[in-house]
Amino acid sequence: MPDLFGLEMTWNNEKGFQLNVAAVSVDAFARGPRENEKPRHPVDLDLVPLIVQTDSSRVVSVMIQDHFVIPKVAGVSGNHHNLSHHGQDKAKIEQLQKVETEIVKCLGSLLGRMKSKSETGASLLENTSILFGSNLGNANPHHARNLPIFLAGGGFKHGRYVATGRTKNTPLCNLFVTMLNNAGLETESFGQSSGALTW
């Protein structure tokens, strides 16, 4: 997998060069740094604030690591997908924690970069919604309930943990409705939503 895909630089007669982005894939920590090279995820993630700040795109999708890659993380010998189906094997769980710690470090790096950039009297992070998470609440048995979702920026009230209840199983699409409304795209539904998510 390339470090970046879905990037296209085009010339626009009115605006000059434009960067069109479908997705950004950051698998740099998966392959590890090359000789005499710093770890690349901060460099690759520099593209995201640049893309948003230059209004090259309003939506950027970032895949931090392909789950079938064996990450170059000390103490990790299995690919992310296999480790996530750990079967309660303590050694696999320890490796999975190391991989996911590195992934969260990538997120922290991105949030720091977004916070350090200014735009219209606020940080770029305050003007941007960043959603981070997984499509599975527990990958071991493939449970798609109680998803670990993290929302940053976007003018939302942050700094707390919101649980919608283990048995209630609130659709994630409810959060998407809230995010769309917050961005000025008023809607009552999205996908399988049952309404907006409030907290």
Give the model's confidence band at 66: pLDDT under 50 very low, under 70 low, under 90 confident, else very high.
Answer: low
pLDDT value at residue 4: 35
Q: What are residue 151's DSSP bridge partners? A: 131
Q: Looking at the structure, do residues 15 and 98 belong to the same domain, yes or no?
A: yes
Q: Looking at the structure, do residues 79 and 11 belong to the same domain, yes or no?
A: yes
Q: Looking at the structure, do residues 20 and 63 belong to the same domain, yes or no?
A: yes
Q: Looking at the structure, do residues 78 and 169 belong to the same domain, yes or no?
A: no
pLDDT value at residue 67: 66
pLDDT at 48 over 50: yes
The string of pLDDT tens digits covering residues 69-101 is 787 788 999 988 899 899 999 999 999 999 888
Asked if residue 136 is part of any domain, the answer here is no
Average of per-residue pLDDT values in the chain: 77
Distance between CA 54 and CA 60 in Å, rounded? 13
Q: Looking at the structure, do residues 179 and 119 belong to the same domain, yes or no?
A: no
Give the model's confidence band at 6: pLDDT under 50 very low, under 70 low, under 90 confident, else very high.
Answer: very low
Distance between CA 99 and CA 117 in Å, rounded? 28
Q: Average pLDDT, stretch 94-113?
A: 88
pLDDT value at residue 65: 63
Q: Looking at the structure, do residues 119 and 165 belong to the same domain, yes or no?
A: no
The string of pLDDT tens digits covering residues 114-167 is 999 988 889 999 999 999 998 888 888 888 888 889 999 998 888 888 888 777
Asked if residue 48 is part of any domain, the answer here is yes
Q: Looking at the structure, do residues 15 and 104 belong to the same domain, yes or no?
A: yes
Quote the number of domains for the chain. Answer: 2
Cβ atoms of 39 and 21 within 8 Å: the answer is no
Q: Looking at the structure, do residues 169 and 101 belong to the same domain, yes or no?
A: no
Task: Write down which residue in 127, 154, 179 finishes a domain.
Answer: 127
Asked if residue 133 is part of any domain, the answer here is no
For the stretch 80-87, contacts whose Cβ atoms lie closer than 8 Å and that sit 24 or more positions apart, written own/partner, are 84/136, 84/139, 84/140, 85/139, 85/140, 86/140, 87/140
Give the model's confidence band at 188: pLDDT under 50 very low, under 70 low, under 90 confident, else very high.
Answer: very high
Q: Looking at the structure, do residues 18 and 97 belong to the same domain, yes or no?
A: yes
Q: Average pLDDT, stretch 54-68?
A: 75
pLDDT at 41 over 80: no
| Structure-token pair, residue 11 | 């010339």
Q: Looking at the structure, do residues 123 and 149 belong to the same domain, yes or no?
A: no
Asked if residue 154 is part of any domain, the answer here is yes
Domain of residue 90 covers 7-127
pLDDT at 191 over 90: yes
Q: Looking at the structure, do residues 73 and 163 belong to the same domain, yes or no?
A: no
